[in-house]
Structure 1
Amino acid sequence: MSLKFADNTADAIPLHVIAQDALEDWLADQPAPVTSWVQATGFTAALGSALAIPDADGAVSMALVGYGDAARRARGRFHVAGAVPGLPKGTYRLHGLPADQAEVEALGWLLTGYAFDRYKDQKPPEARLIAPEGVDAARLEVIAAGEALTRDLINTPASDMGPVDLEAACADLAQSHGATIEVIRGEDLLKQNFPMIHTVGRASAQAPRLIDLRWGDAGPKLTLVGKGVCFDTGGLNLKPGASMGLMKKDMGGAATVLGLAHMIMALGLEVQLRVLIPAVENSVSSDAFRPGDILTARNGLTVEINNTDAEGRLVLADALALGAEDAPDLMISMATLTGAARVAVGPDLAPYYADDPALVSALETAAAQVADPVWRLPFYAPYEAMIEPGIADLDNAPKGGFAGSITAALFLRRFAGDTRYMHFDIYGWSPDAKPARPRGGVGMGARALLAALPEVLK
């Protein structure tokens, strides 16, 4: 797959981006053969449509991409990317694209080059794009590579992406950027006070572990914490088979923070970056943890287990407690944590929690600019009582099912201490193919965060 722009060349094929209400005027300025061809094919500039126009010898002389109308464009993103599969092989130069959309549309084109081909040959579109004028091509290529890393990690099944493999992926990333990595495994988790990571992962054939990657020695401290549950059976509260089918993506939080970490390091942002990933498999065995167990977390809080299928917040809790000990300027957790978040906002929006108004403003402004939509949900304090069972400090799965994403976020906040904190409850999966996003693993919120970081960390 190619996630890079084509080299500039004088013989690139002109590709005209045309809105529906501009088609008639555009045709009025074209030679008669071009006008006749467009009219004969019935091209209307509908959003995502593509048309190649031949010269007298039958070669492609130019091509058109339909840009629809404003109402249609508002219902999606990466509109030019939607037309790329309909273009012949070749190198293209864009004309007529609104300047404020050039970066997003160029990135979307790059992402059409992604294909998950580990187990089967895949053929992404062969149309290549010269970076539009004024676009930072190198930056977009880095972002596309980070997104591809996230997608590859999520798409890889647990047979090849267990805790051992996730650790290896982190080590490869660290090596490529000159970062350091430390890993605490198995019984050493108990010796070094990570009891909940150990408890959740101890039933698996692959030992649980905490991966700690560090990069940069100047600038604000930024800590990213990603849920690395490489497969989730539900534990003794076993999931039904239909609910287990996508559980290879339960490490989507880890995959997303690793993609974001690649972007940060490759772009050389001036931050002291730390990435914490509790990597486990929630399995069933004779030593699996049980409903009714009470665990003591790294920070001393006790947790009653009312459902072993609410394991992600347990492993994140120990990692967040560790992160808070370092007093970072900002700590962000990302996790495929609750079905409640998906019911609330669907698969496209990245729900997040934050109390800092400046952080919220910067993130939402950035999200709109880079077409990486987010949606704020509340750390609603009156629901704190729902996660306090009485027999222990906290309940990992409050009964009743109300406000499931909010109560999970409140649970996690108990372990972030006084740190400036943000939590993402993402889905990490595109259930249907869309422009620049094939069905499968997908990053959510990372590009918005990358764009917001300079503002929130200054």
Structure 2
Amino acid sequence: MKLPACYVSATEAAHALPLHIVDRDGFAAWRATQSDAIGAWLDAHAFDASPCSCLALPGSDGAPAGAILGVGDMLDPCSYAHAPRALPAGDWAPASDLPAGTLRALQLGWGLGSYAFDRYRTPKPVRTRLALADADAEALDVLTACARVRDLVNTPTQDMGPDQLEDVARGIAQAHGAEFTAITGGDLLEQNFPAIHAVGRASHRAPRLLALRWGEASHPHVAIVGKGVCFDTGGLDIKPADGMRNMKKDMGGAAHAIALAELVMARKLPLRITLLVPAVENAIGPNAFRPGEVIATRTGVSVEIDNTDAEGRVILGDALAYAGEQSPDLVLDFATLTGAARIALGPDLPALFSNDDALAQAWLDAGMQVRDPLWRMPLWRPYLRYLTSKVADLANAGSKMAGSVTAALYLERFVPGDMPWAHLDTYAWNDSDRPGRPAGGEALGLRAAFEMLKSRAS
């Protein structure tokens, strides 16, 4: 197994320095085992093992002889994510045996904290490495999935349009022996995906529906759908400059869906998966879809375009309808769908909607277990009145009331009523740097989704 650069095998790091990992509750007991000199050093630095704290411990020659890492929740990977940036350069190994869950969280948190998006600049050398006696393969695959989301979202649109997103998905399919197809441009109309075509037709890069299929027919079938708006100008209802600045992230749902599918295949879960990504650019041009138009959808439901900046739900409608036609046991969709979800829950808590209580609870429980939290929001069906159209079956927007709820209700219209479905309205972004959460693209709800699927598969 080839380790990422932030790790080193214990056999190659015989001189790794000891890293003492302590929380506030255990600090007094740990300190009682240390020398008077170390105690004086701790006092001089007022070190109390607060979360996200770190202190190098001096040796007799003045060089670091070890370090102590203050953490909060021992099972939260981000409790350890400050370590790679805070420790002195060198190789580090846990000073004592850790429980399996703690060691797994340390390994993942170290990787999350070491992440840097260096595609367009000279990479900085790796300063610190975590020495692993026995690397947790699943934690490495989860780290790869999180980095996949970050990389895809961080890549500017000139290098991550619908065509490049197709290249990524196709490459992943080939790596895992999956079937892959793409329906592009005018073929979307011929194969009855009119809503995807309508949103993406104004771009010089053709809209498309990406489909990946993997797994044995006898296994439970999960459809994973991701919103792939590779850039969102808002269309003719154009966004202001500050609202458009980070719209390379509007394919964050697709990034989550692709990374989840890749993770399921990497771990060889006994599932059958269908990954669907409607990939478009919501551009402005002579043939851009317009406010007030009535567009067709795959199910035959007509949709009046109240706002061209509510385009994500429009393309997802066709994709969800197609997912339902595959008769899966479960449908999950990921989307950077509404600013209203951020207003309600902030940037760290994705909004979860589901038509199935057991499915919603399973995803919530998995999020708590792996410290990747989300929050359930209501599918309050009386609010369908806000999507009423006088000329079509449905409007794509309407009121400013309960924006994330009405967006989810719109999507539900395209899911077969008896099919378990969950929708995650995720931000896919960090506005500022925090340990393990660098500014830029972020995987939110991904680890929880994988943990839930792993449980269902077992």
Indicate the TM-score class for this superposition, using the shorter chain for normalisation.
over 0.9
CA distance in 1, matches of 2:123, 2:42: 32
CA distance in 2, matches of 1:457, 1:422: 17
Query: Which residue is 1:6 aligned to?
Result: 8
1:346-386 Cα deviation digits (max 9, x unpaired): 00001111132221222111101111110001111211222
Please state how far the C-alpha of 1:124 moved relative to its aligned partner: 7.2
CA distance in 1, matches of 2:221, 2:28: 54
Equivalent residues in 2 for 1:395-414 (5 A)? 395-398=395-398, 400-414=399-413
CA distance in 1, matches of 2:6, 2:59: 28
Query: Which residue is 1:191 aligned to?
Result: 190
1:223-252 Cα deviation digits (max 9, x unpaired): 111000000011111111111001000000
Query: Which residue is 1:153 aligned to?
Result: 152
Query: Which residue is 2:128 aligned to?
Result: 127
SS state at 1:211 partner? strand
- Seen in structure 2, the aligned counterparts of structure 1 residues 291 and 257 have a Cα distance that, compared at 3 Å, is same
Query: Which residue is 1:118 aligned to?
Result: 119
Letter in 2 for 1:452: M
Please tell me whether the aligned partners of residues 182 and 213 of structure 1 are also in contact (alpha carbons under 8 angstroms).
yes
SS state at 2:80 partner? helix
What is the TM-score when the length of structure 1 is the normalising length?
0.93
CA distance in 1, matches of 2:99, 2:233: 48
Equivalent residues in 2 for 1:277-426 (5 A)? 277-398=277-398, 400-417=399-416, 418-426=418-426
What is the TM-score when the length of structure 2 is the normalising length?
0.93
SS state at 1:255 partner? helix
Please state how far the C-alpha of 1:419 moved relative to its aligned partner: 2.1
CA distance in 1, matches of 2:394, 2:453: 32
- Seen in structure 2, the aligned counterparts of structure 1 residues 131 and 330 have a Cα distance that, compared at 3 Å, is farther
Structure 2, unaligned stretches of length 5 or more?
Answer: none
Query: Which residue is 2:276 aligned to?
Result: 276
Query: Which residue is 1:103 aligned to?
Result: 104
Please state how far the C-alpha of 1:89 moved relative to its aligned partner: 2.0
Matched, 1:236 2:236: yes
1:248-292 Cα deviation digits (max 9, x unpaired): 000000011111111111000111111101110011111111111
Please tell me whether the aligned partners of residues 3 and 114 of structure 1 are also in contact (alpha carbons under 8 angstroms).
no
- Identical counterparts, % of pairs: 46
- Seen in structure 2, the aligned counterparts of structure 1 residues 22 and 332 have a Cα distance that, compared at 3 Å, is closer
Query: Which residue is 2:210 aligned to?
Result: 211
Please tell me whether the aligned partners of residues 270 and 457 of structure 2 are also in contact (alpha carbons under 8 angstroms).
no
* Structure 1, 215-224 or 93-102: larger mean CA deviation: 93-102
CA distance in 2, matches of 1:188, 1:254: 21
Letter in 2 for 1:191: E
Please tell me whether the aligned partners of residues 352 and 377 of structure 1 are also in contact (alpha carbons under 8 angstroms).
yes
Matched, 1:220 2:227: no
- Seen in structure 2, the aligned counterparts of structure 1 residues 3 and 312 have a Cα distance that, compared at 3 Å, is farther
CA distance in 2, matches of 1:390, 1:334: 30
Letter in 1 for 2:137: A
Structure 1, unaligned stretches of length 5 or more?
Answer: none
Query: Which residue is 1:163 aligned to?
Result: 162
Query: Which residue is 2:86 aligned to?
Result: 86
CA distance in 1, matches of 2:88, 2:428: 31
Please tell me whether the aligned partners of residues 349 and 375 of structure 2 are also in contact (alpha carbons under 8 angstroms).
yes
- Seen in structure 2, the aligned counterparts of structure 1 residues 3 and 380 have a Cα distance that, compared at 3 Å, is farther
- Seen in structure 2, the aligned counterparts of structure 1 residues 327 and 66 have a Cα distance that, compared at 3 Å, is same
CA distance in 2, matches of 1:37, 1:385: 66
Please tell me whether the aligned partners of residues 84 and 112 of structure 1 are also in contact (alpha carbons under 8 angstroms).
yes
